[in-house]
Structure 1
Amino acid sequence: MQHRLIYILLLFTSVISYGQINFSITPDKTDYTSKDVINLTIILELNGSEYNQQTPLRLPDLSKFNMIGSGSVSSGYMDPETNTVITQYVTRVALEPKQKGKVKIGSVLVTINNKIYKTEPFDVFIKEVDKKSVANNASNDVYLNMEIEDREVYQDQPTIAVLKVYSRNMDNFRKVKNIHLPEQENINVHPINYKKSEIDPSSGYGNMASQVLAMFMVFPNEAGYVEVPPVSASVNTYNNKNKILSNKVKLNVKKLPEGSPESFKNAVGKFNINVYNASKEKVEVKKPVSVIVKVSGEGNLTDMVLPKIAASPDYEIFAPKITSKVAPGTVGIKGEILANYIIIPNKAGPISIKTEEFAFFDPASKEYVDLGQETLALNAFSHEQIAESRTTVEKVNEYTNTFLETVNSPVLKTTSFKVKEKSKFHWNILLTNIAILLGLFITYLLFKTWQKKRKLIKETVPPKPLGSVAETEKEIRERLKTDVNDYFGYLENLKDSGDYLKFFHIVEELDADVRNQYFQSSAEDFRKFLESYKGSAVAEEYRNLSQRIQMEKYSPVKSSEGIDELLKAIVNLYSQISK
């Protein structure tokens, strides 16, 4: 009897103590689609001030979900009836399912007063979303899907997105054109490539085939919940043009750790800084000097704030010209950014040019790296000191170089004949310069003589009789025929110098001249003309090349290899057209 009484008392005590701690987890619903967000609410309520929470909440295995957000809030109050302190902790967790079907969510654990409490596990059901044709073509449906595997990144850290097209009819893949990557203020998007992959007939998505259309990098520039907008494309058919959209993707962008250096702006990745004098000549007071600040590495290279040259009373600074040699890498944009500053020394003697302090965040080590300042030491000379140190031959070379710079042309790069300063006297250089000047003068005289003779011949030649309309049109076309080889040489020079803006402007001039040669005002009319004049293969190649030129022109990241391949295609096509 005594043992039964003790057992009843212990049972009653455990029931009372269990009622003092309420620990539960509830979802917002039990049935979801693969595009829904699962919101879990975890409530821990402590009735009494004698309870001590020894560990934070330990979540179950959530590897079958993507955690896109979480947050906690606590509150406390005094119960007037029982005079007991009640403390409540509420935690919200947002999940995105990775798989379909029945998925179990395990128990949440917490330790209070050396005792482990847990919630009851439960199941949620994930079903597939009913797909609808965005192209408004029920028989030949086409779908775009944007896939981002790594959806949890730091601010300004890139993640790679893959754009795929799905369709039951493989013939639809060649009709997908005009891909437009997403644009939004809180993300920066840079294309990796637009190369189409081989068609995969068994994509695992129903009975549809798939093909990779493009790959691009997404740089979120703010922390928190970021949604990448859909990618758009068009499906071109003989009857109409339909616009299709991909899905949206949610990113969980982590805030950068606390304790960043004062010199940290927004550089995320791994970088190095180098500052050097681009000119090999002596530095003269009140004369411009080209100083380059080079930032190299891999990360958000094209979007970060570059370190500037610090101001100083010893010199004047002008706004830099920014050039880049970058390409997509594995963890960001890799390459180098060159900031070409014009510096004018204000005094003679030693001058120290310093950059601003620079720091970056390394996502691999999760640490900030402070590179500090970079310094370039220059020794400026006065005009009198420079003049006294020059020999007579060096003065002649300077005058020759100045003349060659004024007559430079895109066909003959006469600046390549410029004479560099030498410590020794070379008769060959002097004679070469004199020969060039004499050659230019003789060429000028011969050109004037040829012009006079041509004028006399025109005056003496009788007018030709008028021919037929076809003969006249042929004669006009011959006169208007464009010498495309001049364009090709000029474009080659622009490609080598990296002046891509001028490059695409000259390409447009070349296209306009060739169209005028055949009396075609628009590109579409010219394509139809080529189809009947040169064949459908040349017309299709002209259309594809026009699209490729537009994509390269407006691409934020241009590579020398891509421009070189584009120039080869331009030379090949326009050489055929102008024959």
Structure 2
Amino acid sequence: MKTRYYITLLLLLCTNFLFAQDARFTASVSSTQVGTGEQFEVTFSVNGNGDRFTPPDFNGFQVLSGPNVSNSITSINGNTTVSNAYSYILAAVKEGTITIGTASMVVNGRRLQTSPIRMTVVKGQPVQQNNQAQNAPDNSIAEEAPADLSKSLFIRAVADQTTVYQGQQIVLTYRLYTRVGIVDSRLDKLPDLTGFWSQEVKDNQQQAQWRVETYKGQKYNVADVRQSILFAEHSGNITIDPFEMTFIARVTAPARDIMDQFFGSYKDVKYAVKSPPLVIHVKPLPENGKPAGFTGAVGNFIMSTDVDKTELKANESLTYKVKVSGSGNIKLLKDLNVNFPPDFEKYDPKITDTVTESTKGVSGSRLYTFLVIPRHQGDFKIDPLKFSYFNPSTGRYVVLPGKTFSIKVNRGTAESNVTAFSAVNKEDVKVLDKDIRYIKTGEPGLSRKGEGFYSSPWYFLLLAAGPLACVAAFIYRNRERRNNSDVVKVKSRKAGKVAARHLAIAEKLLGNRNEFYEAIFKGLYGYLSDKLNISMADLNRETISSALNNRMIDQNLVAQLLETLDICEMARYSPVTSMSEQEVLEKAKTIINRIEDEI
């Protein structure tokens, strides 16, 4: 039992490690070159759930809005992906190259950081630093340092309705109330919204729209910091967790001297805010009057059906469309069950959503496009589709009937179809070539045993070729190892190729006397060092002559070699007139070739 426990614990730790490795925290901007006063958006995205998000300082930029938080959940083939994004609307206040620093966040126990973003700011419009327009709070409401800051700065979770049916949409707003100045803000934690399918409202999220409201007899500057549309997934009482932020609040402080009394004294206070939990009472959908085939649509909808043609040939395609429009849980609608004739081959529908999320909820349409192929000739009928939904406003179910379509299928062309006959009514039946393969008739094309390739001499020869090739490769490898094991022999064997490279360099230097003779001299000395296994430091006329004589090299050839070396040596200090550079080059090549032949 202990062994099984440790194995399970190890697997869980490995899984968490893999998840942490896959986490990515990135930063992006809508444009890397902007003008002063021009608004742009910077977004910090993480492909998972994280907390303790810390934005950069945004030095050189004015923060117009943010953080605007959005999240999404995607499920494909059972794999669920969660992503969150924190965006800010900024405006550059000065020209030049300005860098947006790194943001950080803790994901799966690891603190991740984004890469810095370099921005180019050119001359544009002047920036209004102290704008008292609609997107700024009313400073007249600001008060002196309160004894209890929670009564002057707080967040409320406000739902347009707290008692709903299962699947009914709820507009949830996190509303910020303040009577003090706000210098900076940071999002700490988003609620999990467990028990709801959620969709963030992105309308009017680029800038916080401040307004003045009276709450419990006090006037506050109010802004909606986040709005989401929720759909309850089950009935019962569901609690929405707190929305957590940290603010830097600027409040008045007691005056310390006469200057503070005249101009005023302020201090910045760091203050964490949590919205109170909000309970949503979710009622189950009534069983009384629930129509057959109801799939969970809740809202207010209309439906239309259409076909692209009412007459076609067998094995041609027919498009059947169903469009559901209205407001409600459109994105949660399930597949429709359309009763096509048995002779129609049906494919899974293509689903196209045209949906808008706003402060009034989710509205739009979903289009189902079915592709069907009739296989037989005849007259057919597509029965009307019945789409049912629950209307929470009336508390009743509604059934929407579609149209009935009569489809005439004519006989297909012989070129594109294969003809068979029904044993029941002898009518022509059209089938695609991929559906049915007919039995071949005529000569089967059989052969006797032993006449095919698998028992021929070529077959056995190819079988033996593989092992023989392996043996040959093994022998070749061992021979190369033996040849390369003696370093001296390898250098001697490759000396001619090394010398040829030096002489090729010398040939390119014809006309440049000093460098030409230097290359010839190095080429000959390097060749002799490798060929005779004598270090360059020990080479001189005596050692070269003695080593070549010991190898039985012709005396005339040795004399020519020494003469060529003397010419190269003297050319460094005085002009050589007895022999041209081309003649020296050819003579060096001849000497090396003759030594290669004799050794």
Task: Give the TM interval when normalised to the shorter protein.
Answer: 0.3 to 0.5
* Greater Rg by CA: 2
TM-score between the two structures when normalised by the length of structure 2 = 0.36
- TM-score, normalising length from structure 1? 0.37
Between Structure 1 and Structure 2, the one with more helix by share is 1
